[in-house]
């Protein structure tokens, strides 16, 4: 059995895998879980972050307003499925990730500057007051994802350098820092390899520590005659040197197949930004943006996903 090193989340949102279903990731039957109707003046609420918090769950949500400004708001939930969102904007930008490090909740997101996007970092203990740190890099970058603990004495951040537009390229890199202010000792992690992710890849939720390595869900982008298609893949990174990819699935785990993933403001997008992982049971609940319009959920287990990665491994070939 694959062990998860992390919290026990007794009330992790969960549905059993449907009988006879052969794939490793299955969708929540009542998707989407959050829509524009959950927040006044929202055009869309999608790529969002969730963590366990005081016996329930807290989140930071990407809410694009009716002005189409990109904003981040917070929300609370008892069960991780039904959310109470706060209208107060905490930061401008998009694609938040949340990560508990040394007792504080760190937010990393696509921060907007006059010169392009960069990775904003802020921390909180109560989801009310936030302390914003220095941006983690100069523009242009997106998909900044922190690891939940220091590795080799340093904080680690996955990052995807890009351009100012709908970047037609993109590899995942890793940067390191002793103080969460100065980032360096950069390492290459991985490039797009297979068809479904032929254009670019970007890290998704906070990596999950397992006995088989850091489980990294990520998005991969295919370019078709109709534009980009965003799907979710997974890889295992070395626990001590997380820029080393140990195993990586050659096929996606979740792609836009349901109507709410195929139709919306940006069609054909599955964009994971958060995953809850229960150390006791190995259950994993994934939150993803669907068609840049709503938040949806899917489930897997550490065993299922690691087995899938290894059976479809493109590293060991």
| Residues making contact with ligand BMA (CB under 6 A) | 47, 94-95, 230, 266, 269, 271, 289, 292
Angle at CA 284, nearest 5°, toward 279 and 288?
145
Please report where in the chains the tokens 């523009």 appear, as a residue: 139
Burial of 209 (0-12, 13-18, 19+ CB in 10 A): buried
Q: How far is the CB of 278 from ligand BMA (least distance, A)?
A: 27
Burial of 194 (0-12, 13-18, 19+ CB in 10 A): middle
Rank residues 145 and 269 by Cβ distance to ligand BMA and give the closer one: 269
Q: How far is the CB of 231 from ligand BMA (least distance, A)?
A: 12
Rank residues 9 and 141 by Cβ distance to ligand BMA and give the closer one: 141
Q: For residue 269, what is the DSSP state?
A: B
Report which residue's Cβ sits closest to ligand BMA. Answer: 266
C-alpha to C-alpha distance for 24 and 86, rounded to whole angstroms: 34
Rank residues 28 and 94 by Cβ distance to ligand BMA and give the closer one: 94
C-alpha to C-alpha distance for 56 and 99, rounded to whole angstroms: 16
Rank residues 100 and 198 by Cβ distance to ligand BMA and give the closer one: 198
C-alpha to C-alpha distance for 115 and 290, rounded to whole angstroms: 28
Rank residues 18 and 168 by Cβ distance to ligand BMA and give the closer one: 168
Q: How far is the CB of 286 from ligand BMA (least distance, A)?
A: 15
Q: How far is the CB of 99 from ligand BMA (least distance, A)?
A: 18
Rank residues 192 and 282 by Cβ distance to ligand BMA and give the closer one: 192
Q: How far is the CB of 268 from ligand BMA (least distance, A)?
A: 9
Rank residues 10 and 164 by Cβ distance to ligand BMA and give the closer one: 164
Question: Is-contact 61 75, C-beta < 8 A?
Answer: yes
Q: How far is the CB of 269 from ligand BMA (least distance, A)?
A: 5
Q: How far is the CB of 296 from ligand BMA (least distance, A)?
A: 13
C-alpha to C-alpha distance for 240 and 209, rounded to whole angstroms: 11
64: tokens are 């694009």
CA distances from 204 to 70, 218, 227, 247 (A): 19, 4, 21, 17
Per the document, the length of the chain is 317
254: tokens are 């979740």
């Amino acid at each position: 059995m694959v062990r998860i090193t992390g919290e026990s989340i007794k009330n992790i949102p969960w549905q059993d895998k449907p009988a006879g279903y052969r794939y490793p990731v299955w969708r929540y039957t009542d998707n989407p879980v959050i829509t524009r109707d959950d927040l006044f003046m929202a055009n869309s609420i999608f790529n969002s972050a969730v963590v366990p918090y005081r016996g329930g769950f807290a989140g930071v949500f990407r809410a694009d307003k009716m002005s189409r400004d990109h904003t981040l708001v917070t929300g609370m939930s008892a069960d991780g499925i039904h959310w109470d969102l706060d209208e107060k904007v905490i930061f401008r930008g998009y694609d938040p990730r949340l990560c508990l490090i040394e007792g504080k909740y760190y937010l990393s997101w696509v921060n907007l500057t006059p010169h392009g996007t960069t990775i904003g970092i802020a921390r909180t203990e109560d989801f009310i007051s936030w302390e914003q740190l220095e941006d983690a890099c100069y523009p242009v970058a997106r998909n900044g994802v922190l690891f939940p603990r220091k590795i080799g004495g340093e904080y680690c951040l996955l990052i995807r350098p890009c351009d100012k537009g709908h970047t037609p390229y993109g590899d995942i890199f890793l940067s390191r820092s002793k103080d969460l202010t100065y980032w360096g000792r950069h390492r290459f992690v991985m490039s797009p390899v297979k068809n479904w992710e032929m254009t670019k890849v970007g890290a998704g939720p906070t990596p999950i520590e397992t006995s088989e390595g850091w489980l990294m869900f990520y998005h991969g982008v295919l370019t078709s005659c109709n534009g980009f298609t965003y799907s979710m893949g997974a890889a295992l990174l070395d626990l001590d040197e997380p820029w080393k990819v140990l195993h990586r699935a050659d096929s996606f785990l979740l792609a836009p197949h349901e109507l709410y993933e195929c139709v919306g403001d940006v069609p054909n997008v599955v964009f994971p930004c958060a995953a809850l992982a229960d150390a006791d049971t190995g259950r994993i609940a994934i939150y993803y943006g669907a068609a840049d319009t709503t938040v949806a959920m899917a489930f897997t287990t550490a065993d299922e996903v690691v087995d899938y990665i290894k059976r479809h491994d493109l590293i060991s070939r």
